[in-house]
């Protein structure tokens, strides 16, 4: 029988959160739910040490897994694990940081195999950076890189061995000096066996770890032609045209599509919400200024633009002589190199409203990257 202990008794202090980080939603699901789903197929019992104030929340997240339940957490990690170990019914126990949601099934399986075969299986990966020892800012020794590993979780053991190591560490008052189970096991039981971990099995520690590195947003806009005029404006570029585009603003249909894509990627409401065409302030507005305002709003949320891909559908006027200028204008407005701003233009083969020269439609895809450790 196998027991998993998913450590969830933290406070989120290092991430700067007011709440427990493993209860936080991340990419559509609370962080803890990823580990619960990963361990459930392997484990007969899942214990989740947590703080008293989080117990109801943890219990709700455990509900879909009949073998999972919260247990009382301690004042520090080792105490939380000790409390859970005392309740564990499995002969093998896997201790895992609930803040490592990316753990793979193969990693859990290897950990269980080694724990069963050798009495311990501690997931670890070889260090890729050179590691040194230092004191007061001075390097005191270089470590042989081939001998240095980064220890992860899960860490699997025979429950009785780990429990007795923990009881001794607590009896001797050393428990708080260890940062993980392998340290206590090594000190009071035997050298733990390392199991091949996985580089993707990283721990969400700081607030920036919680943000997906990139977010995409899509935007589309259409404007109809007016009966007359002598130019249109696309991406702030004045282009001769037999008819203008009807609009409250300057009718820059390309800038509008890009603005909507940008707002969408930043998780903000659309252009009509932020710059309503009923507002006199936006009469004849320079849409590239609105785009820059939208960029400032995205930047305020910690984002920067990585790339833009836009397409213009127009039967007339001919746009190819202006494409490079439009690209340069958008690249400058979005603060990206020219190579990261693409604009394509095409006709609609005389089909539909575009083909009948009744209007122009633009599509845009904006990719944002997280620029700072600012998550709101
Ligand atoms: Mg528009």
Q: Report DSSP state, residue 200.
A: T
* CATH code of the domain covering residue 162: 3.90.550.10
Predicted TM-score (pTM) of this structure: 0.65
Do residue 202 and residue 320 come from a single domain?
no
337: in domain: yes
Q: Is residue 147 part of a domain?
A: yes
CATH value at residue 315: 3.30.1330.50
136 CA → ligand 1 middle, Å: 60
pLDDT number for residue 140: 95
Which run of H or of E encompasses 68? Answer: strand 68-72
Question: Of 181, 207, 233, which closes a domain?
Answer: 207
Domain boundary among 177, 207, 237: 207
| Distance from Cα 319 to the centre of ligand 1, integer Å | 19
Tokens of 274: 């932020």
What is the rounded CA–CA span in Å between residue 118 and residue 76? 28
Could you tell me if residue 262 is inside a domain?
yes
**How far does the centroid of ligand 1 lie from the alpha carbon of residue 251, in Å?**
6
* Ligand 1 geometric centre to CA of 375 (Å): 30
Q: Is there a single domain that holds both residue 223 and residue 322?
A: yes
Within a domain: 375? no
Query: What is the predicted pLDDT for the residue at 16?
Result: 65
Expressed in angstroms and rounded, the spacing between residue 6 Cα and the centre of ligand 1 is: 51
Closest CA to 307 of 331, 328, 290: 331
Examine residue 194 and state whether it is found in any structural domain, yes or no. Answer: yes
CA of 362 to the centre of ligand 1 (A): 10
What domain count does the chain have?
2
Residues 284 and 198 in one domain: no
Predicted local distance difference test score (pLDDT) of residue 61: 96
104 in the same domain as 163 = yes
Question: How confident is the prediction for the chain on average, in pLDDT?
Answer: 92
Cα(155) to ligand 1 centroid in Å equals 56
pLDDT at 249: 87
pLDDT digits (tens, 9 = 90+) for 127-166: 988 999 999 999 999 898 889 999 999 999 999 999 999 9
Residues 157 and 268 in one domain: no
Q: Which domain holds residue 278?
A: 215-370
> Which secondary structure element, helix H or strand E, spans residue 30, and what is its range?
strand 29-30
199 and 229 in a single domain? The answer is: no
Do 174 and 303 fall within a single domain?
A: no
Q: What is the pLDDT of residue 372?
A: 43
What residues of the chain score a pLDDT lower than 50? 372-376
376 in a structural domain: no
């Amino acid at each position: 029988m196998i027991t998993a202990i998913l450590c969830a008794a933290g406070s989120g202090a290092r991430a700067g959160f007011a709440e427990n980080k493993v209860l936080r939603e991340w990419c559509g699901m609370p962080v803890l739910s990823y580990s619960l789903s990963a361990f459930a197929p392997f484990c007969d019992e899942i214990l989740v040490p947590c703080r008293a104030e989080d117990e109801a929340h943890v219990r709700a997240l455990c509900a879909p897994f009949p073998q999972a339940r919260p247990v009382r957490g301690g004042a520090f990690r080792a105490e939380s694990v000790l409390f859970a170990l005392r309740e564990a019914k499995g002969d093998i126990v896997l201790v895992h940081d609930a803040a490592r949601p990316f753990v793979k099934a193969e990693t859990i399986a290897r950990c269980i195999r080694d724990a069963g075969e050798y009495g311990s299986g501690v997931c670890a990966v070889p260090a890729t950076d050179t590691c040194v020892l230092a004191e007061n800012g001075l390097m005191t020794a270089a470590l042989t890189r081939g001998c240095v590993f980064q220890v992860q979780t899960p860490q699997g053991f025979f429950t009785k061995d780990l429990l007795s190591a923990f009881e001794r560490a607590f009896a001797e008052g050393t428990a708080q000096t260890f940062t993980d189970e392998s340290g206590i096991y090594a000190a009071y039981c035997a050298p733990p066996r390392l199991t091949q971990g996985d580089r993707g099995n990283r721990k969400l520690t700081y607030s920036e770890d919680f943000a997906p590195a990139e977010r995409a947003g899509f935007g589309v806009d259409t404007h109809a032609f007016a009966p007359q005029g002598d130019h249109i404006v696309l991406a702030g570029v004045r282009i001769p045209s037999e008819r203008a585009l009807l609009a409250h603003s300057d009718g820059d249909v390309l800038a509008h599509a890009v603005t909507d894509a940008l707002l969408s990627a930043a998780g903000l409401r659309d252009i009509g919400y932020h710059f309503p065409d009923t507002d006199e302030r936006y009469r004849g507005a320079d849409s590239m200024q609105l785009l820059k305002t939208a960029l400032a709003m995205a930047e305020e949320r910690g984002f920067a633009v990585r790339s833009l891909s836009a397409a213009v559908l127009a039967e007339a006027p001919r746009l190819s002589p202006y494409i490079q200028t439009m690209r340069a204008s958008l690249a400058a407005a979005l603060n990206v190199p020219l190579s990261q701003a693409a604009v394509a233009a095409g006709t609609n083969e005389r089909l539909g409203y575009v083909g009948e020269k009744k209007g122009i439609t633009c599509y845009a895809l904006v990719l944002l990257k997280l620029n700072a450790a600012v998550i709101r």
